[in-house]
Amino acid sequence: MTATQGKLAGKVAVVTGGASGSGAAICREFVLQGARVAIADRNQEAAVRLATELAELGEARAFAVDITDSTAVNALAAEVRAAFGHHADILVNNAGVRIVKPVLEHTDDDWHKMISINLTGHFFCTRAFAPAMVDTGWGRVINIASIASFVGRPDRAAYCAAKSGALGLTRGTAIDLRHRGVTVNAIAPGSIATPLNAEAKNDTDVDWGAETLVGRWGEGRDIALAAVYLASDDASYVNGTTLTVDGGWVSAKARDGEIASHA
């Protein structure tokens, strides 16, 4: 497929946290669908590496940014526009981190880090990138939330709070940008095999994949294909909502053994 073909042909997309895991998979699928992609990550080395790798498939450029720095985020919007000769039509707020420890052991820094990266950074990016979408009457904002947006998870209280907030941000922004040709949606991933989850994935005692209705861990590409859909014209009537991509994990909640006893 060339840049003139594909569901995202002619679009410029920025993917925060695009250098690793699901973000990297989103960058790859977007390029395959004809988008020109800005890989925006605080890990510049990894972003440059991915941009080089994707060069044979299409156009991808690396940008260094810390999404918790609003000045840097505003500068990023200008840099992307200058580099591609066009503003970003699509913003994927994907950068995220997770601290795993009991809530009463969360330090001030732990709390602020969870909220600033997983929630405030998404707001900063939306505020920087959405005005150009509104001006031109076409745009897509996709916030990467989590199954932790819906259910409590042990030792992740601040992460759950931030990810629940991401759904509120999604709905509130969708309303404010209504009738402007811009849609704002969220994707809630389940257990995806990325560096964020390396420890759990390598745990031989527990298999998170087996807890899903599909019976496997998710891959970054599962998230990327959902992002392609929401970013495309196919999803023009989908707004302010959340697409859960978790292999049915949230829907499968049942008491221990309950599902097995009905198998």
Ligand X SMILES: NC(=O)c1ccc[n+]([C@@H]2O[C@H](COP(=O)([O-])OP(=O)(O)OC[C@H]3O[C@@H](n4cnc5c(N)ncnc54)[C@H](O)[C@@H]3O)[C@@H](O)[C@H]2O)c1
61/174 Cα distance (integer angstroms): 28
Query: Has 159 been annotated as catalytic?
Result: yes
Greatest alpha-carbon span in the chain: 59
Q: Taking CB under 6 A as the rule, does residue 185 contact ligand X?
A: no
Number of residues this chain uses to bind ligand X (CB under 6 A): 30
> CA-CA distance, 197 to 176, in Å (whole number)?
34
- From 159, 208, 217, 249, the catalytic residue: 159
* Residue 144 near ligand X by CB under 6 A: yes
Identify which range of 31-39, 94-102, 130-138, 169-177 contacts ligand X by CB under 6 A. 94-102
Query: Which of 6, 7, 22, 243 lies at the binding interface for ligand X (CB under 6 A)?
Result: 22
Distance of CA 240 to the CA centre of its chain: 15
Residue from 30, 34, 32 nearest 18 by CA: 30
Distance CA 27, CA 35 (A): 9
Identified binder of ligand X from the candidate list 28, 30, 92, 94, rule CB under 6 A: 94
| AA letter at 45 | E
Helix-helix angle 157-176:108-115, to 10 degrees: 30
x-or-dash pattern for ligand X, window 111-130, by CB under 6 A? ------x---x---------
Report the alpha-carbon distance of residue 64 to residue 213 in Å, rounded: 38
**Residue 45: CB atoms within 10 Å:** 11
80 binds ligand X (CB under 6 A): no
**Region of 83-91, 92-100, 126-134, 251-259 interacting with ligand X (CB under 6 A):** 92-100
Nearer to ligand X, 65 or 91 (CB): 65
Residues known to be catalytic: 159
Binding site for ligand X (CB under 6 A): 16-17, 19-23, 41-43, 65-68, 94-98, 117, 121, 144, 146, 189, 191-192, 194-197
